[in-house]
Amino acid sequence: MLLGFFSGLPLGLTGVMLQAWMAKAGVNLHTIGVFSLVGVPYLLKFLWSPFMDRFVPPWLGRRRGWIVLVQLALLAGIAALGFSSPIRALAVFALLALFVAFSSASQDIVIDAYRTDLLREEERGAGAAVATTASRIGALVSGGLGLILADRLGWRNTYLLMAGLMAIGIAGTLFAPEPETKVMPPRSMHEAVWGPFKDFFSRHGAVALLVAVIFYKLGDAYAESLSSVFLLRGLHFSLTEVGEINKILGTIATITGAAIGGSFMVRLGLFRSLLSFGVLQLVSILSFMALALAGKSYPLMAFAVTFEKLCGGMGTAAFVALLMTLCNKRFTATQYALFSSLAAIGRVFFSSFSGYIVELVGWANFFLFAAMAALPGLFLIYFLKGEITEMTGSARAT
């Protein structure tokens, strides 16, 4: 839970908080828009993940050693960002923000690898739920609470406070357990780079599994990409109404869904969880279609948002457990980073066409299309039953 929280904490500091700081300081909109590129390290983290698989720090083991190192870098980077200024030294401000994002992406690489190495197969659903929940809370603290604190304490003191919080994360890492199984790291950088690919593509159904990773959350991504725009422009709800329901209640529903999904996965197993939670995700998207057909309705809006976020959280718990199951522990950092980047790039690329689809077919048909976009992932999971069952059986035996 601690590692999940501190994995989510830097997100708000390089996202919402950074944009608000620049807006308040009077930075022009074009520059603020360009600063969204600070998030690029999260998409490209697979490029340096082999380095973290190959080399073992001389302290705290293969994973925890790296976690402490990048957490120290985050602590220093966040504090330095607090002392910088988007007006007096914009270039330095940008470089520090990029450094924090790079360190945060590196922390994600090694925490994901550590969680995958540590948890037994039957623990992965609950572990994914705890990590997802804590990460969301961490992002809320830095992005939501952070804005409130900045209004009262100022930007510098708020960033220094967030940097101080990272010290708690370091303490958690120091007391975290080592994985039960000792794994031999790659013997060379060549093996660290190409070994993960050779290992994965030697498996039966490898290509289909990769496509399933890209498509499993696609329908959910389509629905979420324009959900706020739909509520504001399509049905003319107020900013306050959307904020109260779509953000606050929606976040609580996502966290609850992840917890419920992790709990049910213990009984259902990975394959049945992926299939049943995926079906629920599809059905939940249709609740937005019903809202579009019914028109402006506060109760129906609250139900649609809560139901969709709840089912999306359950699907996320199963999806994270799938990514952990796909990893070979020799190459966990690289393989997990690759799988998560593939899923993110797929969602970003396909959902970027959402606006054009709405203009062509209208809101109700757009949400029907989003629900149908979930079908390829579900069909792939169904036809990969043997491969998924075999992988989970092998993990349990190990």
pLDDT beyond 70 at 243: no
Domain end residue (candidates: 185, 212, 243): 185
DSSP 231: I
Distance CA 324, CA 311 (A): 20
Distance CA 391, CA 189 (A): 27
Other beta carbons less than 10 A from residue 398's beta carbon = 9
Specify whether 92 is located in the same domain as 234: no
Distance CA 238, CA 231 (A): 8
Q: Is 17 helix (H, G, I), strand (E, B) or coil?
A: helix
pLDDT band, residue 29 (cuts 50/70/90): low
Q: What is the pLDDT of residue 244?
A: 66
Q: What is the pLDDT of residue 58?
A: 84
Specify whether 170 is located in the same domain as 219: no
How do the residues of the chain divide into helix, strand and coil, expressed in percent and rounded to 5? Answer: 85, 0, 15
Of the given ranges (12-21, 85-94, 224-233), which has the lowest mean pLDDT? 224-233
Q: What is the pLDDT of residue 283?
A: 92
Distance CA 192, CA 394 (A): 23
Distance CA 157, CA 61 (A): 34
* Mean pLDDT score of the chain: 83
Distance CA 155, CA 16 (A): 13
Specify whether 98 is located in the same domain as 154: yes
For the segment 143-147, the average pLDDT, to the nearest whole number, is 76
Specify whether 180 is located in the same domain as 201: no
Q: Report which of 372, 75, 55 is spatially closest to residue 63, judged by C-alpha positions.
A: 55
Domain end residue (candidates: 155, 185, 215): 185
Q: What is the pLDDT of residue 215?
A: 84
Q: Is 146 helix (H, G, I), strand (E, B) or coil?
A: helix
Specify whether 178 is located in the same domain as 279: no
The alpha carbon of residue 53 and the mean position of all alpha carbons in its chain are separated, in whole angstroms, by 21
Specify whether 174 is located in the same domain as 201: no
Domain end residue (candidates: 143, 159, 185): 185
What does the DSSP assignment read for 242-276?
Answer: HIIIIIIIHHHHHHHHHHHHHHHHHHHHHHHHHHH
Distance CA 92, CA 96 (A): 6
Specify whether 80 is located in the same domain as 121: yes
Q: Find the angle CA(129)-CA(221)-CA(262) to the nearest 5 degrees.
A: 15
Q: What is the pLDDT of residue 188?
A: 86
Q: What is the pLDDT of residue 398?
A: 42
Specify whether 156 is located in the same domain as 250: no
**Up-side HSE of residue 380: CA atoms within 13 Å toward CB?**
19
pLDDT beyond 70 at 393: no
pLDDT beyond 60 at 169: yes
Specify whether 115 is located in the same domain as 225: no
Q: Look up the domain containing 87 and give its range.
A: 2-185
The string of pLDDT tens digits covering residues 253-278 is 877 887 788 778 878 888 888 999 99
Q: Give the CATH number for residue 196.
A: 1.20.1250.20
Specify whether 95 is located in the same domain as 111: yes
Q: What is the pLDDT of residue 2?
A: 86
pLDDT band, residue 90 (cuts 50/70/90): confident
Specify whether 281 is located in the same domain as 166: no
Q: What is the largest CA-CA distance in the chain?
A: 62
Quote the number of domains for the chain: 2
Specify whether 156 is located in the same domain as 208: no
